[in-house]
Structure 1
Amino acid sequence: MQNSRGAGQPIWTRTLAGWHIVFWVLLGMTLGLSFLGHLGTARQAVYVGTVLVLGSAYQFIGLPAIRSRRRLPSYTYRLVLIACLATLIGIYPQSVFLMFIASAQIWLLCEDLREGIGLSVLLVLAVGTAQLWSAGWGWTAFWEILPWMLVSLVVSLLFGIWIEKVITQSQQRAELIEQLESARDELAEAHHSAGVMAERERMAREIHDTLAQGMTSIVMLTQAAAAELSQGGASVAARLAAIEDTARENLAEARALVAAFTPVALSEATLTEVLRRQAERFAAETGVDVRVSLDLPDDEVAALPQAQQVVLLRSAQEALANVRKHAAATQVLITLGLSDGGVWIEIRDDGSGFSPGVASTGFGLNAMRGRVEESGGTVQIDSAPGHGTRVQVLIPAVQEDV
């Protein structure tokens, strides 16, 4: 029942040094007082010898038994303790105050309540018998000693039972603390693992929304430049310039991912300006007519928290990437607005559309949905074959403190 930290050890064991000192002090006082009692040479010699036996038994049997909790040495020492104490009190009745330390040691070494009660009764009977022998075995002495014996027994039992309950509660508390610490460690490990997974998903979304889409643009521009080169190459220079711009932007985004998670574009311009630049670049690369419409003033857009602006920008980028890859659209309208439910952005195209309930969603739309839901928002996708697609992202509007 003992634990490695000592939290569940009995109070006696954790204060062993103090009880060790008390034992030797009381034993020394008893020996010293006995020389003032005029016991006679023979009785004094027996008394001193008994004190030496008790001291040796404590030092070489009792103290190791307290530390090791071995049952045989424990029983041996307590029986020697009771016998020596009865002898000392029989020779010199004033030694009775040694019962204080004797009773404490009996309970210190007991393994259960019944054992402590049995040895406490044996101690009181032995001491009472010794006192009765010292008084001459008369009935008068018996009735004088009996109340004291009963009081000593009751006090010893109450004290021991109380200590046993304290020890039991201490052990239960120690076990509970260990369980709580174990649960705390497991919870911390689970939180760490969840944090690592969340960070990986976040990095995956950032890479998909920036580097992967940029690489896709470069590939498509390179293919277009190669096709035009085979037909004369009149506008190859413009294509190469667009490739260079996209590559530089991708490089800046890669550096930003290493340093932080705020898009480079938002650190240098407002969300409105970045959306317009994205629309112009997308139109230049694909030939699709892209317009940006604002249903709220620029100052309200600038007042949005940076994290919300990132969510809105990444949602627009993902929607445009899907238009590039799948829609075959001729027109795209990006609308940014504010409603009672929060701030929203809508990307609508006139492309081929699809059936949301049938078509499988790729990583991009799942990443968009995950990012938006992390910010407390929602994603709504309306589409049908031949009728274009509308993607609307709505997140709670919380303005930054200034």
Structure 2
Amino acid sequence: METSSGAGQPVWTRTLVGWHIVFWVLLAMTLVLSFFGDLDRTRQVAFAGAVVVLGAAYQFIGLPAIASRRALPAYVYRLVLIACLMVMVGLYPQAVFLMFIASAQIWLLCESVRESAWLSLLLVIGVGSAQLWSAGWGWDALWEILPWMLVSLVVSLLFGIWIEKVITQSQQRAVLIEQLESARDELAEAHHSAGVMAERERMAREIHDTLAQGMTSIVMLAQAAAVELQRGGTDGASARLAAIEDTARENLAEARALVAAFTPVALSEATLTEVLRRQGERFAAETGINVQVSLDLPDEEVAALPQAQQVVLLRSAQEALANVRKHARATQVRITLGLSDGGVWIEIRDDGSGFTPAAVSSGFGLNAMRGRVEESGGSVQVESSPGHGTRIQVLVPAGEDV
């Protein structure tokens, strides 16, 4: 009945200290009581010798067998246990109460129920035979001892089966606990990995929506400045360089904001409507595209929006304008901010070349926008077709204050 816990030791070893104490106490009591019995000197010496042999066998064979679970020492100890108990009961029948601890040890050291059953039977027959020898081998003694032997065998089997069930249940609980702990560790690791990936994706979106777009503006402004210088237009080049400086400063501020938190610097210094107007003006100045900004929400309602929703709306507008700059070849862009029953929405519409939405579903910009909006509980609608411009509408749930 070898069952292991998480530490690789038998489950019942946690209670072995109690078994050790009971064994030594019962053995000592038996030895002491024998001195007050009617044993002659020879039998007293023989009885004490059997006690010493049993104690030594338990200390040097039984305990190592319990610890190592090796079959041969376990068999040797149990045979010595039965033999010593037979001698002790034959010399001093009152020592029969030691069968209690002997039956327990037999079951604890066995590997199977069958093995435990036949060793228990051997114990009962051996001790019963010792009692018959002590009583003189008479039929009257046999009929007197036989019921006791049968009861002892039944009790030993029931006790042993109960021990086996307890150990089996303990093993199952130990295995279940190990599995639960392992599952908990795996789940914690999965949550950690998912958190890391989500944080990476969020950082990627923030960098894409701020620093990358700012760098794109700087590159385009630098190219335009170079063209102005080649044409000899120093005033135009100066304006471009001033715009480059402003964009670089904003990028630097955004980078610092990314390190400190994820609230855009622009929103910490102005309202969403003001920031959207600035975005439109700067975009028009950089690209020459006519940008119209229509803000149907009063400033107080915009200010009442949760900061996270304002960030989603602003980043969506920035991403849409970045796509217009890169791909649309548009002449007009209209940014509209409004309120509906479903929440707050922002729409960016252009008259550019358009595209087939399904063909660019793997683009990082639109995917990042969609991911950011869906995290806030909102939705993104993209309507476009080649040659007919593009309309992107982002809807986020309105806060309770709005």
| TM-score bracket, shorter-length normalisation | over 0.9
- The residue aligned with 1:343 is 344
- The residue aligned with 1:86 is 86
- The residue aligned with 1:378 is 379
Q: Does 1:204 align with 2:204?
A: yes
Q: Is the 8 A contact 2:6 2:178 kept in 1?
A: no
CA distance in structure 2 between the aligned counterparts of 1:83 and 1:359, rounded to whole angstroms: 87
CA distance in structure 2 between the aligned counterparts of 1:135 and 1:300, rounded to whole angstroms: 105
Q: Which deviations, in whole Å up to 9, do the C-alpha atoms of 1:167-214 show, x marking residues without a partner? A: 111112212222222222222222222222222222111111111110
Q: Is the 8 A contact 1:329 1:350 kept in 2?
A: yes
Displacement of 1:289 in angstroms is 2.2
Number of residue-to-residue matches in the alignment = 400
% of aligned pairs identical? 81
SS in 2 for 1:343: strand
Q: Which deviations, in whole Å up to 9, do the C-alpha atoms of 1:77-135 show, x marking residues without a partner? A: 11111111111111111111111111111111111111111111111111111112111
CA distance in structure 2 between the aligned counterparts of 1:159 and 1:236, rounded to whole angstroms: 99
CA distance in structure 1 between the aligned counterparts of 2:302 and 2:361, rounded to whole angstroms: 33
- List structure 1 runs of 4+ shifted beyond 6 angstroms: none
User: TM-score scaled to structure 2, two decimals?
Assistant: 0.94
- The residue aligned with 2:97 is 97
Q: Does 1:139 align with 2:132?
A: no
Q: Which deviations, in whole Å up to 9, do the C-alpha atoms of 1:130-185 show, x marking residues without a partner? A: 11211122222222222222221111111110110111111122122222222222
User: TM-score scaled to structure 1, two decimals?
Assistant: 0.94
Q: Does 1:72 align with 2:72?
A: yes
CA distance in structure 2 between the aligned counterparts of 1:294 and 1:343, rounded to whole angstroms: 11
CA distance in structure 2 between the aligned counterparts of 1:100 and 1:6, rounded to whole angstroms: 29
- The residue aligned with 1:53 is 53
Please tell me the root mean square deviation across aligned C-alpha atoms, in Å: 1.9
Q: Is the 8 A contact 2:291 2:334 kept in 1?
A: yes
Displacement of 1:372 in angstroms is 1.6
Q: Which amino acid aligns with 1:384?
A: S
Question: Structure 1 residues 356, 10: closer, same or farther in 2, change over 3 A?
Answer: closer
- The residue aligned with 1:237 is 238
- The residue aligned with 1:37 is 37
Question: Structure 1 residues 316, 76: closer, same or farther in 2, change over 3 A?
Answer: same
Q: Is the 8 A contact 2:3 2:167 kept in 1?
A: no
SS in 2 for 1:348: strand
SS in 1 for 2:371: helix
CA distance in structure 2 between the aligned counterparts of 1:304 and 1:193, rounded to whole angstroms: 32
Question: Structure 1 residues 236, 309: closer, same or farther in 2, change over 3 A?
Answer: same
- The residue aligned with 2:364 is 363
CA distance in structure 2 between the aligned counterparts of 1:359 and 1:59, rounded to whole angstroms: 79
SS in 1 for 2:334: strand
- The residue aligned with 1:317 is 318
Q: Is the 8 A contact 1:8 1:170 kept in 2?
A: no
SS in 1 for 2:357: coil
Q: Is the 8 A contact 1:228 1:235 kept in 2?
A: yes
Q: Which amino acid aligns with 1:221?
A: L
- The residue aligned with 2:63 is 63
CA distance in structure 2 between the aligned counterparts of 1:84 and 1:230, rounded to whole angstroms: 113
CA distance in structure 2 between the aligned counterparts of 1:360 and 1:89, rounded to whole angstroms: 89
CA distance in structure 2 between the aligned counterparts of 1:357 and 1:195, rounded to whole angstroms: 29
Map residues 68-217 of structure 1 onto 2, 5 A cutoff.
68-217=68-217
Q: Is the 8 A contact 1:8 1:171 kept in 2?
A: no
Q: Which amino acid aligns with 2:392?
A: V
Q: Is the 8 A contact 1:323 1:329 kept in 2?
A: yes
Q: Is the 8 A contact 2:5 2:11 kept in 1?
A: no
Q: Is the 8 A contact 1:292 1:333 kept in 2?
A: yes
Q: Which deviations, in whole Å up to 9, do the C-alpha atoms of 1:273-309 show, x marking residues without a partner? A: 2111111211222222222222332222222222221
Question: Structure 1 residues 192, 382: closer, same or farther in 2, change over 3 A?
Answer: same
Q: Which amino acid aligns with 2:102?
A: A
Question: Structure 1 residues 360, 54: closer, same or farther in 2, change over 3 A?
Answer: closer
CA distance in structure 2 between the aligned counterparts of 1:194 and 1:361, rounded to whole angstroms: 21
Q: Is the 8 A contact 2:354 2:384 kept in 1?
A: yes
Q: Which deviations, in whole Å up to 9, do the C-alpha atoms of 1:219-245 show, x marking residues without a partner? A: 111111222222232322222111110
Q: Is the 8 A contact 1:8 1:167 kept in 2?
A: no
Unaligned stretches of 5+ in structure 2? none
- The residue aligned with 1:16 is 16
Displacement of 1:261 in angstroms is 1.4
Displacement of 1:64 in angstroms is 0.8
Q: Is the 8 A contact 2:5 2:175 kept in 1?
A: no
Q: Does 1:264 align with 2:265?
A: yes
